[in-house]
């Protein structure tokens, strides 16, 4: 066993998998490299849901040279019949001698069964090489496949004094051009984009992915308790990408009918005055929307944070100050009574994107009891 070469080939498999992010729907991204006698004889990646998995593509390329080879796979080969046959059986049929797996599959239908099946067939299996990298790459899939709830990434841009916009509501542009370009890549990698009614009214966004390469456009989702989304909204003028309006049971029936006639899907989330965001997440999960990019205003961001519904934070900080007590902040909610009750974030990463500072982190909701301020 050559640990150095093992890592080299696994990194190649991870790199191949990463290039398919945003294309595989609710499926994970997976890469596979087949190596025999120190030569790469097969390469593959899962490119689209319902089509061949990474192992299938790599073994097809390797042909007869797969016999006695080592296969490097970024995720445990599947053992069940879904839209495609089990990958572990393909590896067995190809007579590979060894399989190196980055991490086990959290999918309850797999969960170690693929590895067990390979070992039963006499194939040597190693598990855990570059496991963290593989888990991070599929963090959205990993949550959805276990909970059936979407992984929510909150993206926002703010000034140094924590403002989303000026006191007039003007927000063009908080961040620089490099950051804005990166946002379109983020949209491509998520299955849905979610905003609140205020953002829809003020910005009238299309919420599409404008990249120089063909991109998968995520579903547009608007949290709109009072059904204020205008029928003339730009997102309703092009329904090649679906629009889902989340509202409450008692919302204006006339406007509901008009939005449905305009092509939007209107979904009731509770019978209160405001959309029950926990119910909303469950209903979006039922529609197999496994990941959401939250691009909301301060109120929606705050409500999602209070309920523990944000899984990851992506924040662009622009080197400018706008001021204004009335200018909206990134999180607007009643707040906690003590600093000890604040939501902490872990695994904080910081880098420069053009002139802006880019921060990514994960909230830790279990750190202490919290009581909202009076």
Buried b (16+ CB within 10 A) or exposed e, 288-300: ebbbbbbbbbbbb
All residues at 6 or more sequence positions from 214 whose CB lies less than 8 Å from its CB, including other chains: none
Smallest CA-to-CA distance from 283 within 316, 249, 260 is with 249
CA distances to 75, 95, 135, 173 from 129, in Å: 11, 22, 11, 42
Smallest CA-to-CA distance from 32 within 114, 101, 128 is with 101
* Token pair recorded at residue 220: 């547009």
Q: Would residue 51 show up in a list of annotated catalytic residues for this protein?
A: no
Buried b (16+ CB within 10 A) or exposed e, 41-73: bbbbbbbeeeebbbbbbbbebbeebbeebbbbb
- Alpha helix segments (H runs only) across 227-269: 253-261
What is the Cα–Cα distance from 62 to 59, expressed in whole angstroms?
5
Count of alpha carbons within 13 angstroms of residue 313, beta-carbon side:
25
Smallest CA-to-CA distance from 304 within 249, 259, 365, 356 is with 365
| Active-site annotation holder among 7, 51, 55, 232 | 55
Q: Which residues pair with 358 in a beta bridge?
A: 316, 351
Give CA 312 to chain center in angstroms.
9
**Cβ–Cβ < 8 Å for 118, 88:** yes
All residues at 6 or more sequence positions from 200 whose CB lies less than 8 Å from its CB, including other chains: 222, 224, 228, 229, 233, 235
Catalytic residues: 55
């Amino acid at each position: 066993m050559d640990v150095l070469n093992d890592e080299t080939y696994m990194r190649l498999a991870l790199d191949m998998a990463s290039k398919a992010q945003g294309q595989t729907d609710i499926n994970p991204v997976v890469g596979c490299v087949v190596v025999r006698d120190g030569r790469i004889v097969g390469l593959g990646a899962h490119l689209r849901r319902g089509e061949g998995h990474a192992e299938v593509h790599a073994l097809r390329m390797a042909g007869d040279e797969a016999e006695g080879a080592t296969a490097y796979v970024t995720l445990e080969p599947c053992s069940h019949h879904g839209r495609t046959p089990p990958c572990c059986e393909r590896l067995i049929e190809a007579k590979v001698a060894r399989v190196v797996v980055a991490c086990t599959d959290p999918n309850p239908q797999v969960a170690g069964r693929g590895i067990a099946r390979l070992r039963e067939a006499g194939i040597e299996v190693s598990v855990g090489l570059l496991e963290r990298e593989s888990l991070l790459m599929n963090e959205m899939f990993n949550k959805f496949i276990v909970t059936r709830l979407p992984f929510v990434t909150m993206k926002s841009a703010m000034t140094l004094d924590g403002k989303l916009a000026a006191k007039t509501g003007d927000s063009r542009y908080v961040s620089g051009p490099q950051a804005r370009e990166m946002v379109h890549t983020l949209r491509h990698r998520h299955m849905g984009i979610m905003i609140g009614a205020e953002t829809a009214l003020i910005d009238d966004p299309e919420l599409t992915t404008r990249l120089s390469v063909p991109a998968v456009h995520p579903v547009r989702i608007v949290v709109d308790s009072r059904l204020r989304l205008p029928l003339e909204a730009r997102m309703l003028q092009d329904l090649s990408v679906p629009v889902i309006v989340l509202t409450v049971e008692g919302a204006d029936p006339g406007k509901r009918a008009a939005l449905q006639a305009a092509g939007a899907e209107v979904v009731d989330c509770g019978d209160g005055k405001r959309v029950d965001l926990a119910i909303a997440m469950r209903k979006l999960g039922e529609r197999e929307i496994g990941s959401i990019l939250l691009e909301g205003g301060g109120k929606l961001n705050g409500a999602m944070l209070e309920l523990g519904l944000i899984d990851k934070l992506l924040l662009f900080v622009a080197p400018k100050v706008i001021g204004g007590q009335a200018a909206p902040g990134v999180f607007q909610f009643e707040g906690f009574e003590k600093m000890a009750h604040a939501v902490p974030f872990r695994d904080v990463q910081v880098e420069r994107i053009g002139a802006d500072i880019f921060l990514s982190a994960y909230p830790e909701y279990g750190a202490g009891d919290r009581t909202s301020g009076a």
